[in-house]
């Protein structure tokens, strides 16, 4: 987290440059690695639909819950390819079937 903070202090574009699917690679890495502290630090600098898509692609239901909880417009979050958060979660195969079902019930029902 210290290294990422140094990058943020130097130039936020070093951290928030877009990777594949319009999601920042750093968000994806934090979500995939389950690093909630790093993910929150990134969120302090840039809360956006990109963060939600990164958590979905990273397969972190816990982080998704934190990001989405209390928001009613989650189904409207689209990435640059027009994919919803649900597409992101399912499309990369990061969530097992039971996790995907839990995700759908929690956030889309």
Report the pLDDT value the prediction gives residue 15, as an integer from 0 to 100.
Answer: 66
Minimum mean pLDDT range among 24-28, 35-39, 81-85, 93-97: 93-97
- pLDDT band with cut points at 50, 70 and 90 for residue 32: confident
Q: What topology is assigned to 2-108 in CATH?
A: 1.25.40
Q: What is the domain partition of the chain in residue ranges?
A: 2-108
- pLDDT band with cut points at 50, 70 and 90 for residue 88: confident
Phi, psi (deg, nearest 5) at residue 47: -85, 125
Q: What is the pLDDT of residues 9-23, one digit of tens each?
A: 777 666 666 666 555
Residues 6+ apart with CB under 8 A from 43: 51, 67
Report the pLDDT value the prediction gives residue 13, as an integer from 0 to 100.
Answer: 64
Q: What is the pLDDT of residues 38-57, one digit of tens each?
A: 777 776 665 466 777 777 77
Tell me the sheet residues that pair with 24: 18
Phi, psi (deg, nearest 5) at residue 18: -80, 140
């Amino acid at each position: 987290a210290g290294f990422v903070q140094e990058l943020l202090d130097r130039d936020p574009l070093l951290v928030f440059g877009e990777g594949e699917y319009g999601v920042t690679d750093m968000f994806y890495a934090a979500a995939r690695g389950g690093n909630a502290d790093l993910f929150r630090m990134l969120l302090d600098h840039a809360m956006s639909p990109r963060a939600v898509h990164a958590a979905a692609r990273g397969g972190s239901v816990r982080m998704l819950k934190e990001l989405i909880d209390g928001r009613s417009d989650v189904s409207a979050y689209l990435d640059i390819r027009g994919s919803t958060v649900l597409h992101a979660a399912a499309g990369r195969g990061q969530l097992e079937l039971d996790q995907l079902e839990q995700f759908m019930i929690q956030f889309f029902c």
